[in-house]
A and B are shown apart, each in its own frame.
Chain A
Amino acid sequence: MSTSTSAARTAPGEQDGPRRVPPAARRRPVTPGRVLLYAVLTLVSLAWLFPVVWAVYNSFRDYAFTAVNGYVSFGGFTLDNYARAWEQGDFGRHFLNTLVIVVPSVLVTLFLASMVAFVLARFSWGLNVAMLVFFTAANLLPQQALLIPLFRFFLRVGLYDSYWALIIVHVAFQMGFCTFVLSNYMKTLPKELTEAAFVDGAGVLRQYVQIILPLCRPPLAALATLQVTWVYNDFFWAVAFLSTGDKFPVTSALANLQGQFFIDYNLLSAGSVIVAVPTLVVFFALQRHFVSGLTLGANKG
């Protein structure tokens, strides 16, 4: 990233150099408009990065130092905030909670959605469109529209304040989006693939497990990446269905760090960075999957 930054900073004069310049750019001389374009983009990018960079910067600084010199200063660097945030925020436990919620939620969602998508995309039975709407629309509702009866229901059956409540609600809520994306993808797979198997006497279950599922690896990978970040980032359902602080996943547990006698912003920064790290790792490592997942449902192709 840093190399890109310096490239961007020095860019306006030299971006039309001989190397790696696409044909369209070569025809273009360095015009004021082009310089302005780079200037605007650099400015916007830096402005967009800034809040995160600011949080990271302050997470490495001593509270006593910033209390005296103000936050807009230089110095007082320490790793202490991370140790303290980890301990006070009890992040070990909360990361474990998140794991217990995210893994089954994502796996079950993808499993169920792929089954529905398979049936809707590959078989014609008159209710295909209605069922697709039934699943897709469920994903478009505001969460609060179903909160109250669900809250009472979980309370009644003893699932309130348990991970099961969260896993069930994540599965039910996210299934719509996954079904939609997967069924669109499965429709593009050639009919002949399953027809041949069908003629050979393979049942639908075999067609699904041995032919269609293996071909769906790309959208499944994209959806898995996306779902992991979404379920990881969930704040609302955890607040609504958990009451024991120890059970909270990391995103919602961060609020605990806020409840100090005074607010130690260095500590809060360190906590925020700790919570952000897993999603940032996913973002940088699986960017392609992540982006294609987001646009799978919204893009032609």
Chain B
Amino acid sequence: MTATPVAPPPAPAAGGGARPRRRRRTRLQLLTTTDRVVLAVMVAVPALIVLCIVWLPTLGTVLLSFTGWNGIGGLDRVNFVGTDNYEAITTSYPPFWTAIRNNVLWLAVFFLVATPLGMFLAVLLDRDLKGSWFYRSSIYLPVVLSLALAGFIWQLIYSRDQGLLNVVLGLEGSDRVDWYGDPSVNIWAVLVAASWRHVGYIMLLYLAGLKSVDLALKEAAAMDGASETRTFFSVVFPTLAPINVVVLVITVIESLRAFDLVWVVNKGRNGLELLSALVTANIVGEASLVGFGSAIATILFAIAMVFVVPYLGSILREERR
């Protein structure tokens, strides 16, 4: 799980406006040579690590996706095959379309069910309630568990023979459903477990956002006779814009990164195909189709970038102001 930063707020002004401070960073020219060298090292070492471990491999993935390399032999054995991998993936690799469908489904459920539910719970909890600590903690609890662990815990509910769900539904004998195993239902079962975690995360982010909403705004709306629902949608919601952006990015990224849960259930096969699982299966599994796996990874990367780039653009604009 990864939290996602939002564009920084204007720094709380110690006196005067917020903006001048940003201009008052020390200019490098004022420093001695030693200081400049120290600063350079302080940035260069971490930058080199990120460059070598994150950015160059990402570039490598894109390049490898145009090759037919199977990982055997040195890089001199790499042969460029153009877009062959992409053609093969889209035309003769059925799991790909299942994975796309499942990824879209994942995104849709997170967007249409889990995120609104998290937001709704945050709105309910944003009042003065007795025992709100208990409500908050229990809804938030799954977030500290790993997604893999969530997979194991829900197994006790989904198991065909010993799971709780079949007993509660009164399913006996051959009517029993193998919730994790049956490819026609397991994606939904997994989505329930994944949403269980996601709702708490979203709730927490909105709770933080709601706390920063100016109370005077709400009171003014109440004075004008606006209903609570009306106040929320017309007054509160618009002020949550930065949080909405974060939640949007987190939801997309978490959906694309979803991996642990399907991998512990059945290694992302038989109904639980996801792009992330396909990439992994093609590389750590028995078949080592480097070029082919890279093409799937590149598709995954490209989809993520569609959302990440505009988001980074907004950070950039905020910073430059």
Q: Across the interface, which residues of A come within 8 angstroms of B137, CB to CB?
A: 1, 287
Q: Which of A138, A177, A283, A298 has the most CB of B within 10 A?
A: A298
Q: Across the interface, which residues of B come within 8 angstroms of A271, CB to CB?
A: 152
Q: Across the interface, which residues of A come within 8 angstroms of B125, CB to CB?
A: 41
- Are A252 and B61 touching (Cβ within 8 A)? no
Q: Among the listed stretches B36-44, B82-90, B104-112, B182-190, which one makes contact with chain A, having 4 or more residues with CB under 8 Å of it?
A: B36-44
B264 at the binding interface (Cβ < 8 Å): yes
A229 at the binding interface (Cβ < 8 Å): yes
- Are B279 and A148 touching (Cβ within 8 A)? yes
Question: When the two chains form the complex, which single residue of B127, B135, B312 contacts A8, counting CB atoms closer than 8 Å?
Answer: B135
Interface residues in chain A, defined as those with a beta carbon under 8 Å from any beta carbon in chain B: 1, 4-5, 7-8, 11, 15, 21-22, 24-25, 37-38, 40-42, 44-46, 48-49, 51-52, 54-55, 58, 66, 70-72, 112-113, 115-116, 118-125, 128-129, 131-153, 168-169, 171-173, 175-177, 179-181, 184, 187-188, 190-191, 194-195, 198, 203-205, 208, 226, 229-230, 232-236, 239-240, 251-252, 254-255, 258, 263, 265, 268-269, 271-272, 275-276, 279-280, 282-283, 287, 290-291, 293-295, 297-301
Chain A: CB-nearest residue to B193: A51
Q: Across the interface, which residues of A come within 8 angstroms of B119, CB to CB?
A: none
Q: Across the interface, which residues of A come within 8 angstroms of B21, CB to CB?
A: 187, 191
Q: How far is the CA of A44 from the CA of B138 in the complex (A)?
A: 9
Question: When the two chains form the complex, which single residue of B43, B153, B209, B242 contacts A272, counting CB atoms closer than 8 Å?
Answer: B153
- Are B145 and A236 touching (Cβ within 8 A)? no
- Are A123 and B25 touching (Cβ within 8 A)? yes
Interface residues in chain B, defined as those with a beta carbon under 8 Å from any beta carbon in chain A: 1-6, 8-9, 11-12, 14, 21-22, 24-28, 31-32, 34-35, 38-39, 42-43, 45-47, 49-50, 52-58, 60-61, 64, 71, 121, 124-125, 127-131, 133-135, 137-142, 144-150, 152-157, 159, 162-164, 167-168, 196, 199-201, 204-205, 208-209, 211-212, 242-243, 246, 249, 253, 256-257, 259-260, 263-264, 275-276, 279-280, 283-284, 290, 293-294, 297-298, 300-301, 304, 308, 311-312, 315-316, 319-320
